[in-house]
Amino acid sequence: MRPATVVFAAVLALLRQAAPAAPAVMPPDAGIDGLMQAYDGQVPGAAVLVLHDGQAVFRRGYGLAVVEDGTAVTAASNFRLASVSKQFTAAAVLLLVEEGRLGLDQPVRRWLPELPTAASSVTLRHLLSHTSGLPDYEDMMDPTDSRQVHDADVLALLAREDRLDFTPGTAYRYSNSGYALLALIVGRASGQDFATFLQQRIFGPLHMTHTVAHQDGVDTVTARAYGYSWLDGRWQRTDQSTTSAVLGDGGIYSSLDDLARWDAALYDDRLLSAASRQAMFSPATATTEPDVPHYGFGWRLNGRMQWHSGESIGFRNVILRYPDRHLTVIVLSNRNDPEPYPLALKIAQRWLDILQ
């Protein structure tokens, strides 16, 4: 062996010794497969990813992304994220705050003067933390109108009623209304529509090449997983509802592979500054929700765990992050039931038992 080769081998051996050992669990895994058994086979499925120290230590699809033609779920399948989308909306706002185009304590009516005077004291911080007091737009929709609502329609609905449910900043109530308005504010402050801003400022730079804030007739969702619900004794496609076109609160489609890139960006300055990440993951308000002592900006906070779920017609998703252990678990599913949060906790615990 030549001297240079000997030195290289020695250095490589030292690096291997110094590197933290990730749990050697790669598919198939009987324990996780057992947890995911209901999603496997000729049924609407799920995609599961476990990241440790930036590496995929478990990555697998179960069941079908498209039941009608038997297309299987893979790590590249794109699911509607539903409310997991909110963390991207929050990131878009924080990018504009970094540039001085927005301020967290600016009145929302500075950007959306269409809102009624009752909303005069509502700030962007209130919208991000679900403490605005704005009514839920879904409660204001005409149940006989089957047309899809867009973010601009949310603003129009809220503009009709000069009232709040509580004084801004005095209480917490989870608000899809707030995040729809944030998408509009991002558009007005940046001079771009919200979907374009996300593509140019977040998805593109992070090489999330197949992630999109989906707009019918404008873009195409590649490797799309369609949503299903168990109705009348069988799985039926229930992919869209009247609120599915609202982007700010839940309109993003993404895959395990792209979300791995997003997760990596939350550990360093490649997208958001340290100050912005701290703002995102710091408690902005206490909540009354189970397993959610606090809410940050687009994230639920429970001690060491940062997480968010996403539920819309035909989709149930969750992302759990344990940054102190560099551990992330993501479960995306294209069915209305069950809620995957308990499954994700069980999957995460397998690694936490090793890493603690």
DSSP string, 84-101: GGHHHHHHHHHHHHHTTS
Q: Is residue 329 part of a domain?
A: yes
pLDDT digits (tens, 9 = 90+) for 133-158: 999 999 989 888 889 999 999 999 99
Q: Is residue 3 part of a domain?
A: no
Per DSSP, the three-state class of 296 is coil
DSSP label of 267: T
Q: Angle of helix 274-281 relative to helix 86-98, nearest 10 degrees? A: 140
Q: Is residue 13 part of a domain?
A: no
Q: Is residue 53 part of a domain?
A: yes
Q: Is residue 10 part of a domain?
A: no
Name the active-site residue from 83, 244, 276, 333.
83
Q: Is residue 2 part of a domain?
A: no
Rg for the chain, CA atoms, rounded: 21
Q: What confidence category does residue 301 fall into, taking pLDDT thresholds of 50, 70 and 90? A: very high
Q: Is 146 a catalytic residue?
A: no
Closest C-alpha among 330, 307, 312, 88 to residue 211: 88
Q: What confidence category does residue 26 fall into, taking pLDDT thresholds of 50, 70 and 90? A: low
CATH code of residue 325 = 3.40.710.10
Q: Is residue 17 part of a domain?
A: no
Give the pLDDT score at 355: 84
Q: 194 lies in which domain range?
A: 24-355
For residue 20, pLDDT over 50 is answered with: no
Q: Is residue 4 part of a domain?
A: no
Tell me the CA end-to-end span of the chain in Å, nearest whole number: 41
Give the pLDDT score at 2: 45
- How many distinct structural domains can be found in the chain? 1
Residues 6+ positions from 70 with CB-CB distance below 8 Å: 42, 64
pLDDT digits (tens, 9 = 90+) for 78-102: 999 999 999 999 999 999 999 999 9
